[in-house]
Amino acid sequence: MASTSKAISNLAHQQGQTCIAFSRDGKIAYTGGLDTLVRIWHTNQGEDQEPEAAYEADEGITAVAAAEGCWLSGGHDSDVRKYLPGKAQFDGLVTSAAGASIRCLAVDPSGKRVAVASDELSVKIVDLDEITNVVVLEGGHKKRIRKTTWHPSGTILTTSSSDGTIVAWNISDTEAKVENVIDGVIPEVVDPESPEFMHDCSAVWHPSGQYFFAASRTHEIVAISRSTWTKTSSLSDPNIVGATTALVLSANGLYLASACKQEILVWSVQTKRVLWRHPGTPNAFTIQIAFSPTENLLAWTDTEGVLSRWRDAIPAGSPDPVRQTAASGAQGTTTKRKPTPPLWGEEPDADAEGVDQYGDDWIIDDLGDGMEDEPEGAKATRAGDGFVKEMVSITKAQPAFQPGSTPMENKKRYLAYNMVGAIDVTDQDTHHIVNVEFHDRSTRKGYHFTDHFKYDLGSLGERGALFACPPELDHPAHVIYKPYGTWSTQGDWTYVLPNGQRVLGLAAGGEKPMRSLRDPSSSGGDIQGQGNIVIATSSGDLTFLSGSGMERIVIGVEGEYVTMAAAEEYVLVVHRPGATTIDGSQSLVATLISFEDFQVLQEKPLPIPKGHTLRWIGTTEEGAPAIYDSAGYIHLMIHHRRPNRAAWARLMDTNLLERKQGKDESYWPVGLSQDTFMCLILKGRQEHPGFPRPLIQELPVRLPFRNQDPVDSLIEERIARERIHVNLARDALGDELTSPDIDKREVELDKQLIKLIQASCKADKAPRVIELVKRLHFTNSIAAASQLAGFYRLIGLQEKIEAIKLWRENNATPAEEAREGRRGFTYEDAPLVRPKPFQNFNPPPKVDRPGLARSTGIAEQTEFTASSVAIRAGRSRAPQASDSRSTSPEGKRKRGDNDDDLSSNAFDVETKRQAVGESDAVVPSPKPSAYIVIQSVRA
């Protein structure tokens, strides 16, 4: 576990209490000790440097701190001294504590004020520019104060007392007041001479300002929430026992360094595990640790008076301790990118407002608390401070997410929640419990297991559940697939990623099981395979695997991966090929890739309004891609089976829902079917569903049509919606003309249309009637419409309808036209390798004109006539032709194939019969002659 890089040490002070602080630019480290000296170390120099020293103190130094434009020291002589930056040049006294030892100095995030804790029962906040400007915080403590720290916003000061209490002071107003007293967390140490008194008991604030860490009396490191002031989680390791003697967070809050029993430990704040260790000085314990604010450098001082500097404490390959990196964002930590301040003065221009308006409620974070942006106050101070800056980030880029997952809240989260079921995870500190539940308990059986890898991504497919874990020190990232329907774990397989790569997203697709997966019969269960797996990795690719773990292909992703969802026969991948735009658009693109042959079926930008983000993607029950965004729109990809002809149809605007009016609620999508939007309803400002699992609510899907006619507009909307779904179903047909289901739905549609026609006839709107009549699907319906017109004595109209009917009878039906259209798409797509002009010696392409085609009679009696030869040949060709056209990717094609096979079998039978007939016809002719010969011989 020990890191490869070694620390360099210098003997700096005499034995006893020591302290350390980095300058604001990270170039200098100040250390103080009982020998009354403060030494000034240049961090870029090695072990052999001769540090400058400040000799002004009369007694031992107990605290040093660096502020803007000066550095400070304080000690047992009760004076706080100010020095020029980087030099040992005394610049004056700041304050004095009237004979009491100074215990701690804390400079606020802006570097202008210092909080001085001493053996007095009060804390002084001194303005460094104007040292007469002093605020005294009194009345919070009954025992001496040991440590004090600032909240990153500079409005809260936390003080730790020797009686074991932590007091949070609110100093945002001129009047400081006690906001909360936290008792029972830090240990109580009364004797200032005991070694325990030197242990670090400070509240170390996370840069997000949402929580702080403190070393507890139970030898854990606990995180305490800013909002509730209660413990939210703890860092502990079974191998580490003993008190934590020092504690510090890295500049970006990703890592936490602690000292325990002559060992320095670096923890990951996200996973709450020890990542690296480094041995400290033997027989001494470390009193203070510091992360360099600008470099990958960790330094500490101990009771032996030794200063140790550990360069590259965070090994290369892991997220940097200073910068906010994209990797840390993908991992689920906060990406605290702040919008750049307006360039011209205070006036916020319109665009900046537009970007800001969606605030922080869109971040899909995996860690739960502490993931919100910093308060406004901190932004300004930090940006001007030379700390972490983001150069260009005008629109926050939406991080990668799994549809249907939630962040960890109260130690529980959902990894996936869709129409198949839900995966929920319970955090047990050292391990997770993963619980997989299904909506349909007859087809699949729920289960749960103990997870030592802390899977943070999950996908619940039709054929199996997929999990992925992030890489940790002792194991690389891996993906595990657990197909359903097997009693044992034999079917499980693991796919391990190389070191340094991580999984960004997962999708498990597969055909919907027709019957129980546990069905042992040959036709049921797992004969349909175990589905298809897609893994998006941090190396910018999509890896396709088969359900049994066979690698099929690795496809590169253009730009950043955002999310994906798998359907039966394709995977819908959302990625960002370029960057976000200045005016607030996420510029996301959806790509549909088929599992069959990895064809890109569609590539279509997402219709998300500016300033909004993608919330959910998925597929409908019928298999069409759908998305939901933070603006509350549901879009459905229509014509997704037609190559490059898809469009995003706005299926629903949840802001217009009747139940939403006057209520503050939002919708968390789970699934979408033809007429219902399945979602969980979140009350108020709730962002994610909680536990226990709420019931799925069904909301009716309504196209956002704007006509408000009470009768007609309802029917029109229903017709238009039904039309979308009939078209989708028809696109799935392939070479078939129609299916009983579609026929039934079209009859229903015609009934609705007839209602509209009747209303229009009544209102005498002839043009509308004609338009509606043209939309009817069956000639019978047109006849009915004509009768209606007759009933209302609209003779002229009736004649026109009759004309339409006649025209319809003579021409191809809409169903046939649609089939022609489907054929056309495959034609258009096919000639990618077209020969050059004038070098094409092939016959001209066949133009299919069903209107001109000869009628294909089914006449048994014509089978043997000479005139039917052409027809027979044509019919036996037909199935082959249809096979060559079958590039349509959907699973329903199979039925079409079977039908074709049946029909070709039928033709085989016919040809066989024909052959028999022919042999009957041909063979007898020689026979009689043979007989004749024999007979003639006998004769």
Partner 1 sequence: MALPQSLRTSVTPLELELIASEHLIEIVPLITMEKTAFISGAYGPLRPPAKCRIPLWMATNLKLKKKCHIVPPEWLSVDFLQEQLTRETSRPEFSRLPFRFAEIAKVILDVASDDVQNADKIKSLLKDLREARQAKSRDGLQKLDHSELSLPNLCSMEINEIRPFFIQSMGILTQLVREPSAE
Shortest separation between residue 516's beta carbon and partner 1, angstroms: 9
Shortest separation between residue 634's beta carbon and partner 1, angstroms: 17
Among the listed ranges 432-440, 552-560, 592-600, 890-898, the one in contact with partner 1 (CB under 8 A) is 432-440
Residue 241: alpha-carbon gap to chain centroid: 37
Shortest separation between residue 693's beta carbon and partner 1, angstroms: 11
The verdict on 695 binding partner 1 (CB under 8 A) reads yes
**Peptide bond preceding 348 in cis form (omega within 30 of 0):** no
Among the listed ranges 30-38, 356-364, 380-388, 673-681, the one in contact with partner 1 (CB under 8 A) is 673-681
Shortest separation between residue 683's beta carbon and partner 1, angstroms: 14
Q: For residue 409, what is the DSSP state?
A: B
Cα dist. 638→73, 297, 726 in Å? 70, 55, 11
Q: Quick one: 512 or 775, whose CB is closer to partner 1?
A: 512
Q: Quick one: 503 or 652, whose CB is closer to partner 1?
A: 652
The verdict on 696 binding partner 1 (CB under 8 A) reads yes
Among the listed ranges 130-138, 436-444, 609-617, 878-886, the one in contact with partner 1 (CB under 8 A) is 436-444
The verdict on 678 binding partner 1 (CB under 8 A) reads yes
Q: Which residues, listed in sequence order, are joined to residue 541 by a DSSP beta bridge?
A: 537, 556
The verdict on 517 binding partner 1 (CB under 8 A) reads no
Among the listed ranges 11-19, 36-44, 434-442, 812-820, the one in contact with partner 1 (CB under 8 A) is 434-442
> Which residue from 231, 277, 311, 439 is in contact with partner 1, where contact means CB under 8 A?
439
Among the listed ranges 67-75, 366-374, 438-446, 581-589, the one in contact with partner 1 (CB under 8 A) is 438-446
Q: Quick one: 579 or 696, whose CB is closer to partner 1?
A: 696
Q: Quick one: 437 or 716, whose CB is closer to partner 1?
A: 437
> 235-262 as b/e, with b when 16 or more CB fall inside 10 Å?
bbeeebeebbbbbbbbbbbbbbbbbbeb
The verdict on 301 binding partner 1 (CB under 8 A) reads no
Task: Compute the chain's Rg from CA coordinates.
Answer: 38
The verdict on 620 binding partner 1 (CB under 8 A) reads no
Among residues 690, 694, 693, 695, which one has the least CA distance to residue 410? 690
> Which residue from 673, 727, 739, 813 is in contact with partner 1, where contact means CB under 8 A?
673
Helix (H) or strand (E) holding 93: strand 90-96
Among residues 230, 224, 265, which one has the least CA distance to residue 246? 265
Angle of helix 795-810 relative to helix 779-791, nearest 10 degrees, comes to: 170
SS3 content of the chain, % helix, strand, coil (to 5): 20, 30, 45
Q: Quick one: 509 or 513, whose CB is closer to partner 1?
A: 513
The verdict on 886 binding partner 1 (CB under 8 A) reads no
Among residues 272, 185, 268, 200, which one has the least CA distance to residue 231? 185
Size of residue set near partner 1 by CB under 8 A: 15
List, as own/partner pairs, every contact residues 408-415 make where C-beta atoms lie below 8 angstroms and the sequence separation is at least 24, other chains included: 408/366, 408/367, 408/368, 409/368, 409/369, 409/688, 409/690, 410/690, 410/691, 411/233, 412/690, 412/691, 413/366, 413/368, 414/688, 414/689, 415/455, 415/456, 415/457, 415/458, 415/459, 415/467
In angstroms, rounded to a whole number, what is the distance separating the alpha carbons of residues 288 and 302?
Answer: 7
Helix (H) or strand (E) holding 897: helix 893-922
Shortest separation between residue 731's beta carbon and partner 1, angstroms: 23
Among the listed ranges 27-35, 40-48, 692-700, 819-827, the one in contact with partner 1 (CB under 8 A) is 692-700
Q: Quick one: 355 or 670, whose CB is closer to partner 1?
A: 670
| Residues near 48 by beta carbon (within 8 Å), at least 6 away in sequence | none
Shortest separation between residue 633's beta carbon and partner 1, angstroms: 23
The verdict on 441 binding partner 1 (CB under 8 A) reads yes
Side by side, the strands of the sheet bearing 493-496 are: 457-460, 464-469, 478-483, 493-496
Interface mask toward partner 1 for 80-119; x: CB under 8 A: ----------------------------------------
> Which residue from 14, 262, 393, 676 is in contact with partner 1, where contact means CB under 8 A?
676
List, as own/partner pairs, every contact residues 310-315 make where C-beta atoms lie below 8 angstroms and the sequence separation is at least 24, other chains included: 310/5, 310/6, 310/7, 310/264, 310/278, 311/5, 311/7, 311/8, 312/3, 312/5, 313/3, 313/5, 313/257, 313/266, 313/276, 313/278, 314/250, 314/255, 314/266, 314/276, 315/3, 315/4, 315/5, 315/276
Q: Quick one: 26 or 403, whose CB is closer to partner 1?
A: 403
Among the listed ranges 1-9, 641-649, 694-702, 860-868, the one in contact with partner 1 (CB under 8 A) is 694-702
In angstroms, rounded to a whole number, what is the distance separating the alpha carbons of residues 629 and 614?
Answer: 4
Of 363-402, binders to partner 1 (CB under 8 A) are none
Q: Which amino acid is at 852?
A: L
Interface mask toward partner 1 for 799-818; x: CB under 8 A: --------------------
Q: Quick one: 108 or 526, whose CB is closer to partner 1?
A: 526
Tokens of 554: 């690795």
Q: Quick one: 473 or 696, whose CB is closer to partner 1?
A: 696
Of 697-756, binders to partner 1 (CB under 8 A) are 698
Q: Which amino acid is at 456?
A: D
Q: Which amino acid is at 354?
A: G
| Residues near 873 by beta carbon (within 8 Å), at least 6 away in sequence | none
| Residues near 558 by beta carbon (within 8 Å), at least 6 away in sequence | 575, 577, 589
Neighbours of 5 (CB within 10 A): 16
Shortest separation between residue 443's beta carbon and partner 1, angstroms: 6
Helix (H) or strand (E) holding 414: strand 412-417
The verdict on 419 binding partner 1 (CB under 8 A) reads yes
Shortest separation between residue 456's beta carbon and partner 1, angstroms: 25
Among the listed ranges 272-280, 690-698, 911-919, 922-930, the one in contact with partner 1 (CB under 8 A) is 690-698
The verdict on 440 binding partner 1 (CB under 8 A) reads yes
Shortest separation between residue 894's beta carbon and partner 1, angstroms: 21
Angle made by CA atoms 783, 785, 790, in degrees to the nearest 5: 95
Q: For residue 656, what is the DSSP state?
A: G
In angstroms, rounded to a whole number, what is the distance separating the alpha carbons of residues 149 and 182?
Answer: 15
In angstroms, rounded to a whole number, what is the distance separating the alpha carbons of residues 785 and 802?
Answer: 9
Shortest separation between residue 485's beta carbon and partner 1, angstroms: 15
Among the listed ranges 433-441, 564-572, 604-612, 745-753, the one in contact with partner 1 (CB under 8 A) is 433-441
Shortest separation between residue 696's beta carbon and partner 1, angstroms: 5
The verdict on 521 binding partner 1 (CB under 8 A) reads no
**715 SS3 class:** helix
Q: Quick one: 520 or 710, whose CB is closer to partner 1?
A: 520
Q: Quick one: 454 or 745, whose CB is closer to partner 1?
A: 745
Q: For residue 475, what is the DSSP state?
A: B
Among the listed ranges 408-416, 649-657, 667-675, 786-794, the one in contact with partner 1 (CB under 8 A) is 667-675
Q: Quick one: 697 or 826, whose CB is closer to partner 1?
A: 697
* DSSP letters for 483-533: ETT-SSSTT-EEEEPPTT--EEEEEEE-PPPSS-TT--SSSSGGGG---EE
Q: Quick one: 343 or 695, whose CB is closer to partner 1?
A: 695
Q: Quick one: 456 or 526, whose CB is closer to partner 1?
A: 526
Q: Quick one: 442 or 499, whose CB is closer to partner 1?
A: 442
The verdict on 435 binding partner 1 (CB under 8 A) reads no
Q: Quick one: 146 or 721, whose CB is closer to partner 1?
A: 721
Q: Can you give the binding site for partner 1, defined by CB under 8 A?
A: 419, 438-443, 670-671, 673, 676, 678, 695-696, 698
